[in-house]
Amino acid sequence: MSPELMAAILMVGFLVLLVIGAEMYVAMGLASLVGLVFFIHKPLQQLAWSSWDQMNSFALTAVPLFVFMGALFANTGVARSIFIGAEKLLSGLPGSLFHTVIGANALFGAMCGSSIAAAAAFTTICFAPLEERGYDPKLALGTIAVGGTLSSLIPPSILLIVYGGWWRVSVVHLFAAALIPGILITLLLMVTIVILIKISPNLAPPVVKSTWGEKLVALRDLLPWLILIVLILGVIFAGIMTPTEAAALGAFMAIIFALLYRRMSFKALKVSALGATKTTAMITLILVTASVLGYVFQALGATDAVATLIMKAPFGKAGILFSLVFMYLILGCFISSMTMMMITFPFVMPIIEVLNFSPVWWGVTFVILAEIGMVTPPFGLNLFVVHSEVRKYSILAVSQGALPFLVPLMVGVILLIIFPQISLWLPGLLF
């Protein structure tokens, strides 16, 4: 049996297991074991060796701490104060509460790192006020779903931590590279809201402006959160702390904030800790099984063969890059961002290296593409998270509300491709 055929059998078996409902790590694990034992004839100890090689990364220990930090803010309801403060500051803009959702998500993203957690938290916090004040419910649901994607881009980002830990790319550089694109995407989403409301004024009630006194009070309320964000990112970028140490500081500050706001409870602490443990366990299992499956494909020669085949395509450097973008846009309609990374990167990263693209730039670009998939029908995870919190509206309504925001997200990707310095300027300046 040829190596190409064996690789194809493993990939088809993996996809079949996913289709019938197997968990990601189960599908990859079974494919890995079959490949190890029957195709490359390696001992099962290789599973332990590959697992240790993959998980022996100090950067990955930041994942449970940042997840816990965001979960505690969400479960204690402390994140609600971000929404209230942003509402006053952004009043006066057409569709001010829509802008508030985006702005509050951007702030929350600098403390959370999880798109799904942000979507769940802000659906609970924001949708009822939006509906009560006469905002279009479809666009409200779509805004919440899309706003959640900012948590996977604006540092700290779980996806960027996993990417950096897996491919030995500096997480600090990735965080710095994601900051300006995150702000850019936030502004593009807000501009889109203004355009939509200018075209259809019935999407939002008339503008109600807050006084300067109310805005100053709101700024005062947001000040602790801004200090926390500057503190966490500042100690990372200044080299005072590693991302893991900063994550520990953030988790500790989350407990302090919950106590100061008198929202701390044993139940919230328990649920947050358990959620962080479950998320970390899931990511760990996916990383371990993906590393073994990648080892099998590499041993079969499939990784180099696919990379060589793509490099020989008559598209040129730009054509190959846009082919990868198109591939991720299609995959995002059906599988999650973490799954996309694990399945494709053993084949894609050699191409990125040969084409001499910056791995830091590519990490940020991939995260935006992956987050587009989180709000793309039919299986965008953020759409289902929002729908699960607001059952009276269909998943179709949530999808329709999110659809207009795919344009600014794609504009962000195109700008990042044309002007890579958008992401590379800040890490170059700092480091």
Alpha carbons 302 and 2: distance in angstroms, whole number: 11
**Whole-number Å distance between alpha carbons of 246 and 428:** 21
Whether 287 is in a domain gets the answer: yes
Residue 357 lies in a domain: yes
The model carries a pTM of 0.85
335, two tokens: 């599988």
**pLDDT reported for residue 320:** 86
Pick 389 or 137 by higher pLDDT: 137
Q: Give the helix/strand (H/E) hosting 422.
A: helix 421-430
CA 165, CA 352: separation in Å to the nearest integer?
Answer: 17
* C-beta atoms surrounding 313 within 10 Å: 10
Q: Does residue 21 form part of some domain?
A: no
| Residue 8, token pair as written in the block | 């194809």
Contact 120, 272 (CB under 8 A): no
Average pLDDT, the chain: 86
What is the amino acid identity at position 381?
A: L
- Looking at residue 74, its pLDDT comes to 77
The Cα 99–Cα 187 span in angstroms is 10
CA dist 320 and 301 (Å) reads 21
Report pLDDT for 187: 95
Closest residue by Cα to residue 101 from 117, 81, 122, 131: 122
- What is the distance between the alpha carbons of residues 106 and 337, in angstroms, rounded to a whole number? 19
What is the distance of C-alpha 235 from the center of its chain? Answer: 22
Instruction: Give the model's pLDDT for residue 316.
Output: 77
| Of 185, 176, 180, the residue nearest 156 (C-alpha) | 176
Is residue 43 assigned to a domain? no
Buried b (16+ CB within 10 A) or exposed e, 74-108: bbbebbbbbbebbbbbbbebbbbbbbbbbbbbbbb
Question: Could you tell me the pLDDT band of residue 54, with boundaries at 50, 70 and 90?
Answer: low
Question: How far is Cα of residue 302 from the mean position of the Cα atoms in its chain?
Answer: 29
* Residue 11: inside a domain: no
Q: What is the pLDDT of residues 11-21, one digit of tens each?
A: 888 888 877 87
Query: Does the pLDDT of residue 364 top 80, yes or no?
Result: yes
**Considering its fold, how many domains does the chain have in total?**
1
Minimal CA–CA distance to 189: which of 231, 135, 148?
148
From the CB of residue 191, how many other CB atoms can be counted at a distance below 10 Å?
12
Closest of 307, 321, 66 to residue 171, by C-alpha: 66
For residues 424 and 181, give the distance between their C-alpha atoms in angstroms, rounded to a whole number. Answer: 10
| Three-state DSSP state, 387 | helix
Before 378, cis peptide (omega within 30)? Answer: yes
Predicted confidence at residue 125, as pLDDT, reads 83
C-alpha 19/C-alpha 287 separation (Å) is 20
Encoded tokens for 407: 């344009």
Residue with more model confidence, 83 or 203 = 203
- Domain span including residue 276: 58-430
Is residue 10, in this structure, part of any structural domain at all? no
**DSSP label at 385?**
H
Within 8 A by CB and 6+ apart from 17, the residues are: 26, 27, 30, 31
Q: What is the DSSP letter of 206?
A: P
Report the candidate in 321, 293, 171 with the shortest Cα–Cα distance to residue 243. Answer: 171
- Secondary structure of residue 46 in the 3-state scheme: helix
Picking from 298, 379, 232, the residue whose alpha carbon sits closest to that of residue 6 is 298
Report whether 128 contacts 165 (CB < 8 A).
no
196 with 404: CB under 8 angstroms? Answer: yes
pLDDT, tens only, 81-129: 787 778 778 877 888 889 999 998 888 887 777 788 788 888 888 888 8
Considering the domain boundaries, does residue 50 fall inside one? Answer: no
In a domain, 24, yes or no: no
Q: How many CB atoms lie within 10 A of CB 308?
A: 13
pLDDT confidence of residue 195: 95
**Which SS3 state, helix, strand or coil, does residue 226 take?**
helix
pLDDT in tens, 317-331: 888 888 899 989 998
**Contact present, 69 and 333 (Cβ < 8 Å):** no
How many distinct helices (H) and strands (E) make up the chain?
Answer: 21, 0
Cβ atoms of residues 173 and 358 within 8 Å: no
What pLDDT, on a 0 to 100 scale, did the predictor assign at position 225? Answer: 82
Q: How confident is the model at residue 258 (pLDDT cuts 50, 70, 90)?
A: confident
Instruction: Quickly tell me which residue has 């700024």 as its tokens.
Output: 219
Cα–Cα distance, 281 to 118 (Å, whole number): 20
